[in-house]
Structure 1
């Protein structure tokens, strides 16, 4: 954590697809907090993806790598595009987001799931199911099947092709993300649900045993429960309000957090924070990004929902800048904008006016002025 007196460096990397569009709006929000609340930060813009590749031959050029290396926090947009992309697979892999997660050891991915009462009419789940939903999924982000070796595609002796990947976890990899979950639960309702597939997978047997051991050793004051991943998916849809903090491995977290997006109305609403280890100075590298992808089908149309990116700024204020009051203010402003009827196409009820990406940014900034004035009255 950084004290409020320190100047925090933030690298703003819009990336590809709708990434630059939504990140432009969250950058406006950061500028509002710097100007109106005295938040101590410097912003440095950097390019990623096809545009810098066409200029430099790298999706992650040296200037961008330098900006992210020097930053305390990275505000990320999105990566990826259509299959007809002009970026060769090797160049894409060399600058991949997975590689960045590994480079900075961003092992704990926090994805808050909170239902907005204002969106009950457009949400795919019933209002009574969404009432009171407020939980966080912590996904282990730098291990598991996405990083395990060996992996590959081979041709067998009979001519068939076989793809293979390796799912694996060590004690330390499990315990550090488990510790993050238990510590977060202590600041919330004191409940952790660990998700695995221990009835089938040896990796999950180790996962569950290490969760139980750490709980007994250090966190017996926190309630610990366990669910198999298939049941967890069902419970997220059936009764999401039962959860406080859910912790799970990389691939399960990837899937479950997208499933849980339906408890917030739209994937475009979900923020996330990916956190690295705390260094000896008490600082930790962090990358903040909306959960949604690059959505190339709507890129450039100005209709993307920027709220996932804007709410990621709230996480940045809380977790990197250590300014929970400002984070609360921004989350309140987003709810105020939604309550006033502000809607992008993905969260609009039938017949509702649909705002552009920029207009939704405008609505949040107006709401910030409003709730800030009320707070200071």
Structure 2
């Protein structure tokens, strides 16, 4: 364990889950205990049994805690009738999802090009919030909504991300590509693109490109190095995130951040979670791959301005996988605890002297 620093504690709302959730939580706590920071986890039981027993009360408890800590980590949860993910996103006004998709050496993939995509998805609107309506017996209609405010929030987030990533990893800023079907969806996607263009006026140092979404998918497969931060509407972000996960070879390494914003379009609440599900077939067997939740925790560390720790955690984890020290789903032989331990043992080597 590294020596703790004198900085104040970081309070985190922790939404406990189902299936492999408890094992992922153990991995997070083992890493947190080893880092030189005092983390205080405010645990809330979000298991299916507790949600069904307590109803809205457990949602109220989670919202109150998250509005107080401004920070949360969430584990996979079972959806039965109502998605807990959708509930908490609605309660906390999460309007942006950020999901990196980055190639990891040591993971087998049919795609041989290096991928370094940072997908910023507007998490509201589109057709996802609309139940649709039947018109007679043989037709159906759905209302597609795009709102200015979430577009502004996502655009600012994307340009800030590109600026910070470029300063960290290179001599210039990352570029932002906004993508839609604005030539066809002229009103909705047209509004999105016009808002992004307006926000870009505040970030003239960051290159902004516009790409039609169908062309974007093809061009990413042909040459992913041409794209860095990609900003998209709700449905497009869903499609693109899943495709990108396939390109890098594993859903088991997908992590995401969910964000709400204040009146100045600055991040208010941030919640981080793995992209995978509850995996009931291996739950309780110490076989779960904690890579995604640890990468999500690394994103949390970046968010609270401990990039040094987040980067060291990522380098340690990626180095372990590259050297063949991985869980069985990635072709290795380690169980959850063993993989977590070897990641922890190598973090110190990646911290600044």
Residue 306 and residue 165 in structure 1: after superposition, are their counterparts in 2 closer, same or farther (change >3 A)? farther
Residue 20 and residue 166 in structure 1: after superposition, are their counterparts in 2 closer, same or farther (change >3 A)? farther
CA–CA separation in structure 2 for the residues paired with 1:362 and 1:253: 34
**What is the aligned counterpart of 2:96 among 99, 108, 116?**
108
* 1:283 Cα deviation after fit: 6.7
CA–CA separation in structure 1 for the residues paired with 2:183 and 2:102: 30
* 1:329 Cα deviation after fit: 1.0
* 1:368 Cα deviation after fit: 1.9
CA–CA separation in structure 2 for the residues paired with 1:224 and 1:153: 38
CA–CA separation in structure 1 for the residues paired with 2:338 and 2:290: 10
CA–CA separation in structure 1 for the residues paired with 2:181 and 2:19: 35
- Determine if contact 1:135/1:243 at 8 Å carries over to the other structure: yes
CA–CA separation in structure 1 for the residues paired with 2:320 and 2:43: 27
Question: 2:75 aligns to what?
Answer: 77
- Say whether residues 1:169 and 2:146 are aligned partners: yes
| Residues 148-175 of structure 1 deviation map (CA, whole Å, 9 limit, x = unaligned) | x5x3454x544x574x432211222212
Aligned length: 339
CA–CA separation in structure 1 for the residues paired with 2:272 and 2:198: 31
Residue 124 and residue 344 in structure 1: after superposition, are their counterparts in 2 closer, same or farther (change >3 A)? farther
Residue 203 and residue 108 in structure 1: after superposition, are their counterparts in 2 closer, same or farther (change >3 A)? same
**What is the aligned counterpart of 1:260 among 232, 236, 244?**
244
CA–CA separation in structure 1 for the residues paired with 2:263 and 2:8: 16
CA–CA separation in structure 1 for the residues paired with 2:59 and 2:99: 28
TM-score normalized with structure 1 length:
0.81
**What is the aligned counterpart of 2:58 among 41, 57, 60?**
60
Question: 2:273 aligns to what?
Answer: 289
Question: 2:123 aligns to what?
Answer: 141
* 1:66 Cα deviation after fit: 4.1
* CA RMSD between the two structures: 2.5
| Residues 317-357 of structure 1 deviation map (CA, whole Å, 9 limit, x = unaligned) | 111x2111111111111122223311223322xxxx42222
CA–CA separation in structure 1 for the residues paired with 2:350 and 2:7: 24
TM-score normalized with structure 2 length:
0.86
- Determine if contact 1:14/1:24 at 8 Å carries over to the other structure: no
- Determine if contact 1:8/1:72 at 8 Å carries over to the other structure: no
- Determine if contact 2:177/2:231 at 8 Å carries over to the other structure: yes
* 1:308 Cα deviation after fit: 0.7
* 1:65 Cα deviation after fit: 4.5
Q: How does 1:179-258 map to 2 (within 5 A)?
A: 179-187=156-164, 188=166, 189-201=173-185, 202-215=187-200, 217-258=201-242
Residue 145 and residue 242 in structure 1: after superposition, are their counterparts in 2 closer, same or farther (change >3 A)? same
CA–CA separation in structure 2 for the residues paired with 1:237 and 1:313: 29
Residue 165 and residue 346 in structure 1: after superposition, are their counterparts in 2 closer, same or farther (change >3 A)? farther
Structure 1, unaligned stretches of length 5 or more? 82-86
Residue 222 and residue 68 in structure 1: after superposition, are their counterparts in 2 closer, same or farther (change >3 A)? closer
**What is the aligned counterpart of 2:18 among 16, 20, 39?**
16
- Say whether residues 1:123 and 2:109 are aligned partners: yes
* 1:279 Cα deviation after fit: 7.0
CA–CA separation in structure 1 for the residues paired with 2:116 and 2:247: 9
